[in-house]
Amino acid sequence: MDHDNSRREQTTRGRGRRRSILIACAGVAIVAIVITIGIAVGRLQNNLTAVELHDPSSQTAEDSSTPASPLNILMLGSDGREAGYGAYGEDDGTMRSDAMVLVHIGSENGYVDAVQIPRDTVLQLPPCDDSGRGTFAGGYGMINGALNHGETCSVSAVEELTGVAIDHVVAMNFDGFADIVDALGGVQVCLPEALRDRRADLDLPAGEQMVSGSEALALARTRHAVGDGSDVARMGHQQMVMSAIVQRATSNDVLVRPDRLYSFLDAVTSSITVDTGLESLTQLAALAQRLSQVETDNITFVTMPWEAAPSDRNRVVPTPAAHAMFEALADDTRLATASGDQPPSDADSSHDQNPNADDADDTQDSDPSTHSRSADAPLCEDQ
């Protein structure tokens, strides 16, 4: 009997030791996870670069996370040549916005309308204060040149063009765009025909395919492989790539993969410059939370209706339909969706327009009103 009691006591003590070891290991694991998360959050926070908007609208960082409030964000794609993609030009010390998208988040997070503004749009640029690149006295010129004087100058220029008060700005360069796509493991696109453009280092076959960051960047930037070689002609491909990024970033291939999700967040925070209203991870998370509540079929990319500028047929200006579109954004009125009626357009918008075409003999009619795409559009819908 004593022998049996002794064995039971040894067994109990053994189980107790194993339980203590397991508890200790679990505690160490929890501490390690917390430390790892802390390091990761700290790194992501340190990645961010912020600029001050000289005259921001009434939205505060806290207000921007309120679903009841509409929100306007200017997205800039910079063609600064300091980036590592030498195929796109040498560093000449200038900064221009190769892509400009005015993103409107509707009240109650019901929809997102993203309006692409052609970089060749001309207007009377407003003056802006010194933001580290010198003051700008203003003057007539292309809207993409405003970025050479800082992100706040681009905000002022777009507000001047559209009449829409901008709450936040997010800018990204070539490297950042490609890194984000690579962090997602590539994105799926569909091309109705093969595209080749030696100047953009682009060579892609027709059909559905996964493209890398450099390939997605080349696809978004190529002018010579599409239409009349103009800036506006390539906007359909830019919309395709933006839709592909939205679909990929919200897929289970990313969301349930901690390694891929962290790589994506690391690439995003390392690649963007934001205003001070978005300079913390908390503020960015609040914005991401708002966007996550919008169904992808309620996210639409459209192109600003345009016509050739009277002063220069190789430049463009907004049409009356564009001004109606901007008024709708300012009034928090949803634009027509890509899957339904077309956004406002001008009946003659497809005639005699060829901004920045390199070869007049290659001129093709371009109808910007057809550049409209829902974020959940099937890959090969245009084939």
Residue 108 lies in a domain: yes
- Using one digit for the tens of pLDDT, what is the confidence trace for 43-92? 788 888 888 875 544 444 445 556 678 999 999 988 754 444 444 444 44
Q: What totals of helices (H) and strands (E) does the chain contain, helices first?
A: 9, 16
In a domain, 337, yes or no: yes
At residue 256, what are phi and psi to the nearest 5 degrees?
-100, 10
Mean pLDDT of 278-289: 86
pLDDT score, position 211: 94
* pLDDT at res. 61: 44
What is the average per-residue pLDDT within 209-232? 78
Backbone angles phi, psi at 186, to 5 degrees: 95, 170
Look at residue 11 and tell me if it is in a domain: no
Of 63, 126, 130, the C-alpha closest to 286 is 63
Q: What is the pLDDT of residue 128?
A: 86
Evaluate if residue 275 carries a pLDDT over 50.
yes
In a domain, 275, yes or no: yes
30 falls within a domain: no
For the chain, the domain total comes to 1
Please tell me the predicted confidence (pLDDT) of residue 330. Answer: 94
Q: Please report, rounded to a whole number, the percentage of residues in the chain having pLDDT higher than 70.
A: 64
Is 140 part of any domain? Answer: yes
Reported confidence tier of residue 21, pLDDT bands at 50, 70, 90? low
> How many Å apart are CA 372 and CA 238, to the nearest integer?
11
Name residue, tokens 């910007």: 368
- List, in sequence order, every beta strand (DSSP E) within 163-270: 168-173, 187-191, 195-197, 202-204, 207-211
pLDDT, tens digit, for every residue of 167-202? 999 998 878 889 999 999 999 998 888 989 888 888
Q: What tokens were used for 82? A: 């300091």
Can you give the residue range of the structural domain that contains 235?
49-374
Scan for tokens 């395919």, then name that residue. 209
- Has residue 116 been placed in a domain? yes
Average pLDDT taken over every residue of the chain: 76
5 belongs to a structural domain? no
State how far the Cα of 367 lies from the Cα of 342, in Å rounded to an integer.
Answer: 12
* pLDDT tens for each residue of 92-114: 455 677 789 999 999 888 899 99
CATH number of the domain encompassing residue 286: 3.40.630.190
pLDDT digits (tens, 9 = 90+) for 104-148: 999 888 899 999 999 899 999 999 886 666 788 889 999 998 988
By percentage, how much of the chain surpasses pLDDT 90? 27
Structure tokens at 177: 């765009």
Report the predicted TM-score, pTM, of the whole model to 2 decimal places. Answer: 0.76
